[in-house]
Structure 1
Amino acid sequence: MKLNSIILGKGQPLLILHGFLGMSDNWKTIGNKLAEEKDFQVHLIDQRNHGKSPHTNEHSYELMAEDVKDYCEQHSLSNIILMGHSMGGKTAMLAAAEYPDLVEKLIVVDIAPKYYKPHHQQILDGLTALEEADLDSRQEADKLLSEFISEKPIRLFLLKNLNRKSEGTYCLKVNLETLKENIEEVGKSLPQDKIFKGSTLFIKGANSNYIKEEDKAAIQKQFPEVKFEEIRNAGHWVHAEKMNDFYKAVADFL
């Protein structure tokens, strides 16, 4: 599979994997800073069934970790730094554990290796309504989505998935059908025998409950060289909510 990506700068390759229903565009600001100020070649990747990457009938961490390996082979990348947020963090964990010779450092953003029960139903219902509607404008889409999601920042994030077709109507970039069918896969835990011994950073938003204090012991078992960083006054979208603090944590670690 040939994943779509945005490649910025030159230097050691740093691959960034977005979260569920996200895309490479979400990371452009941070990607540009890392490329310009820290001399990395930053690869902002659309994971399968997201953004401009291929749509398939399958969606699992095993496949997405393999996609990362294939991407590195296609672009002749080695000694990579791998960073992922939420779903992308789970992909990054598994890719690092499966292909440790490929990954020098790992950064996981606001997700633990544990199981998470499905909790995106309201969002999926809202996106389904968008997909089934005959939309004339983004304002109309936002109004419809607001019936499902009250928080404006989350709606703006999700509306990045709207794609204008040539005849002036809109469609979704995400493969909504496959993602709905495989929603249990998104919450799956990392198998306990998957271990990455390289340098690892877990970043959490202080206001997020995705990584709890009691999760740290399990994380340390699978990532023995781990450091933890907590960003104050930030929730799950820590990189967007507190971009400067997040960037400093990443830059200091690298």
Structure 2
Amino acid sequence: MRELVFSLTYEPESNAVADVLSADPDARVRSLSLHATRESLWRVDHATGTPGTLDALEDAFLTADYYADCLADEPCGATQTTRVLEHTDDTLVCYSYWERTPTCTSVPHLAFDHLGEGLLFETDHRRREYRWRMIHAGTDGSDVRGFLDAVESAVGDAARMDIRRISEAGSSREDAGAASDELDSGLPSEQAAALRAAVEHGYYETPRAVDAAELADRLDVPRSTLTYRLRRAEAALAERHVERRSLLDGSFSNP
């Protein structure tokens, strides 16, 4: 089995979801499940962010001219269905399904064309960077270079492609640790700063050396902003830990 991780960083006004996420550094959209056949694609996405960001993301997902993962640079006639499964103050969960037309293309469908069957997909979208992680069989017929060239050609000037990792999946403990580190290149700067300050000032000590209000005053941010950033950072670190254990066990699963 082979692992491939790459990212697409979208230019302004080239991707509706990226435009929304770029305005909220703490927001994130990740796939809970992503499946495709040669004719269709369906997925469930989990988004976090401020209430205003989530409202804007819902609008983007439900807008008729936005198709999840479609790379066509003009209307392709796809039939799309999007349903909101959950929408709270800090969580949005959406289900999307679309049927492919002859002019429609996407990352999963290009992967089918160049890498064959038996593919697993995982995505993580923060700001303008949309990161893909894929597991494929890595048979003699797999054409990774052809796949990457096809994706880069399909996105054109709309996004920049960066290759993050190409390797055996779970080949060793050292590789597994590197895979986990590269899958998440780091917390958003605001979250990292909040977490670092919390550790330095004793917020996580028992008993705490400072409480949330005191720490927020030191950082000159509202208490609600600080606690939100800490929650998101803690969640990201927990997910990374679970993912690393999965990789060390030589397995792959959607979070």
| Shorter-normalised TM range | under 0.3
- The TM-score normalised by the length of structure 1 is 0.26
- The TM-score normalised by the length of structure 2 is 0.26
The structure number with the bigger radius of gyration is 2
